[in-house]
Amino acid sequence: MFDIDQSIIGDVDVNLAAALLMGGVLIMTLWRSRSGKKADTIFLFMVIAAFVGAVAGLVIAFFEGPESPGSLALVVSIETILELSITIQLFFLLLYVFLTIHDNRDYLIRRMKFYMIPLVILIVLSIVNIFTGIIWYYDGNKMYHEMGLYTVYNLIRYLYLILAIYQYARYRKENGQARFFSIWFYLVPILWGTILEWVTPISGFILGNAIANVILFIMISQKVGFTDEGSGFFNIRYLKLLSEKIKAGEYEPHLLIRYHLPEKKDLSDFFRMLKEILPDQCDTVKLDDTNCITVIYGDTRGLINMLSEDIRMISEELCLNIEFDYVVKQRDETPVKFFEKNVVIGG
Amino acid sequence: MFYLTNRDYATLIMDTGTILMILGVIILLFRQGEKGRPDLNSFLMLLILTIVMAAGDMLGYLSDQKMFPHSRMLATLGMTVFYAGFLLVAVSWLHYCRVRFKHEGLSGRTRFAFEYLPGMIGTALVLINIFTGWIFHYDETVTYHRGVLFIPMYVAFAIFLLAGFLCLARCRDHSRGGILIPLCICALTMIFGISFTFLVSNSASFAPIGIAMCFVFTHMGIMNEV
């Protein structure tokens, strides 16, 4: 039987649970990681930062307090690592949200300077704090104390969370629903942890953060399950889900494009260029190696001619023999009837 | 005025965290929209039982500190819900594993005898524990004491859990390689979490959050592989 100081047992328990959760997410993320996907790489960095934070939270519980072993410098160093890991994780969250919903790296690169400013300020403040104690400090008894600037430090850090929510909300307003991703699932455990940290003597933030990352990982897993790895479009599993969403009235298809793809050809360039020309309010499903469909929900006026021209141009440019045809929803047709008539679910 | 110890806070935080995580997973399952799949229904039942278990644990710990009038009765009720949930979760886990991989190792009465009967007997024992105190009981000062069947109950739980894992590991389809890693992670996490509860004196219960994590990761690990 091991005896741990009863005053720290709660912190050890909660931080151990968080470290276990984050360890699990990290291993699963490493196991699942696919090379070449920038969003996946950013998510991996985010998970590593959260794992480091959780481990630092666990370790520091053993070194805090007058009776604990270890020097003051060690406690300050671990606390600095903990604070920095939270900041870096939130920075990566913003990048991840950006890459997930926008799929536009050029815009992100343009905004990068602006996003880096708070991170640089926080890193500089953390380093300065080691020597000055202007944000937080440990007294001679190795007891933690916060200064007034800590609130400002936290607000700057949460700026990333606010920006991530803003990006998501703006995308949703402009493009309707963002499937398989909802930042609210991330926000709720973080808020829960922050409130617990205020009202209880135990740091609940780390556990809240770990739970948020577990839920985010699950959302990503669900998305991966419906994604065709080669093209990046949806796979055939998504068709049933799409049918249910159309029946529920969430989507109203107006136009269907059917592609007949050539066999044994490298189509990665075609898929990449197709993504660029298709409107935002649409879903593309790769049914099998030679068949693919795009369901368009928004306004289709003038779209058919424009898309026909673009697809033809891409085919010629890539020297691919891609055939395609259109089906337009008639006025007297219901969305469900239109979809079921033209798409065979499950095959 | 009640006084919550550091350990009580930790248990409450971990229980509410478990409930939060499971609720998130349930909402995600509904959003995913693949309704009617027997394995998903069975997984949903598993998640709901885990919430019940965590809620029972929470009620037990709060009453433990005499926070409410009739605290002894409420603490007993809370822990009864926790232990009943504990056993039902174990049975549901085995059921889920079998449904998920259409495992046909046992059939008919044998399956009933090995799967459901021990679960039903265990649940009945937990329910009558209110009168017998064989698994746990609270004394007049609302202090928790383990009973003679406490360790056998944990052993029964572990057997059910292992049987579920065995069912997954024995699956010979293409998904086998895909599930082994999450299985190992979850088994190690659970062993570590439960060992910590037993080996470190007065540490908080890792059962709900460990179990929730185990199920969620295993499910996520196998979901897209088959």
**Is it the case that residue A26 has pLDDT exceeding 60?**
yes
**Is it the case that residue A77 has pLDDT exceeding 60?**
yes
**Is it the case that residue A144 has pLDDT exceeding 50?**
yes
What residues of chain B lie within 8 A of the CB of A207, using their CB?
A: 13-14, 17
DSSP, collapsed to helix, strand or coil, labels residue B105 as coil
Residue B12: band (very low, low, confident or very high) from pLDDT cuts 50, 70, 90: confident
Query: What is the C-alpha separation between A278 and A54, in angstroms, rounded?
Result: 42
Q: Which helix (H) or strand (E) holds A66?
A: none
Nearest Cα neighbor of A320 from A284, A257, A277, A266 is A266
CA–CA distances in Å: residue B200 to residues A13, A26, A60, B116, B156:
10, 26, 18, 33, 22
Q: What percent of chain A has pLDDT over 90?
A: 15
Q: What percent of chain A has pLDDT over 70?
A: 92
Contact B200 A192 (CB under 8 A): no
- Which of B27, B209, B214, B225 to mutate to probe the A interface, most A CBs <10 Å? B209
Question: Residues 180..209 of A with a Cβ closer than 8 Å to B: which?
Answer: 185, 188-189, 192, 196, 200-202, 204, 207-208
**Is it the case that residue A78 has pLDDT exceeding 90?**
yes
**Is it the case that residue A257 has pLDDT exceeding 80?**
yes
Is A12 near chain B, with CB under 8 Å?
yes
Contact A2 B201 (CB under 8 A): yes
User: Which of the residue ranges A4-13, A211-220, B105-114 would you say has the lowest mean pLDDT?
Assistant: B105-114
**Is it the case that residue B33 has pLDDT exceeding 90?**
no
pLDDT, residue B226, reads 42
Residues 6+ apart with CB under 8 A from A155: none
Count of CB atoms situated within 10 Å of the CB of A88:
22
Reduced DSSP (H G I as helix, E B as strand, rest coil) percent helix, strand, coil of chain B, to 5: 75, 5, 20
Q: How far is A216 from chain B (nearest CA, A)?
A: 10
Query: What is the C-alpha separation between A89 and A43, in angstroms, rounded?
Result: 9
**Is it the case that residue A298 has pLDDT exceeding 80?**
no
Mean pLDDT to the nearest integer, B45-49: 88
Which string of DSSP letters, residue by residue, matches B4-17? Answer: --HHHHHHHHHHHH
One-letter amino acid for residue A181 of the chain: F
Length of chain B: 226
CA–CA distances in Å: residue A180 to residues A95, A191, B29:
17, 21, 11
Contact B224 A224 (CB under 8 A): yes
pLDDT, residue A179, reads 62
pLDDT, residue B1, reads 47
Q: Is the ipTM of this complex over 0.85?
A: no
Domain A9-225: CATH superfamily, name plus number: Rhodopsin 7-helix transmembrane proteins (1.20.1070.10)
Q: Note whether B59 and B81 are within 8 A (CB).
A: yes
Q: Note whether B149 and B177 are within 8 A (CB).
A: no
pLDDT, residue B166, reads 76
Helices (DSSP H) in A176-302: which residue ranges? 184-199, 205-225, 237-247, 268-277
* Range(s) within chain A of domains with CATH label 1.20.1070.10: 9-225
pLDDT, residue A120, reads 92
Contact A1 B201 (CB under 8 A): yes
**Is it the case that residue A88 has pLDDT exceeding 90?**
yes
Higher-pLDDT residue of B34, A218:
A218
**Is it the case that residue B189 has pLDDT exceeding 50?**
yes
* Range(s) within chain A of domains with CATH label 3.30.70.270: 237-342
Q: Mean pLDDT, chain A, as a whole number? A: 83
Is A33 near chain B, with CB under 8 Å?
no
List domains and CATH numbers for chain B: 6-223 (1.20.1070.10)
**Is CATH 3.30.70.270 the right assignment for the domain spanning A237-342?**
yes
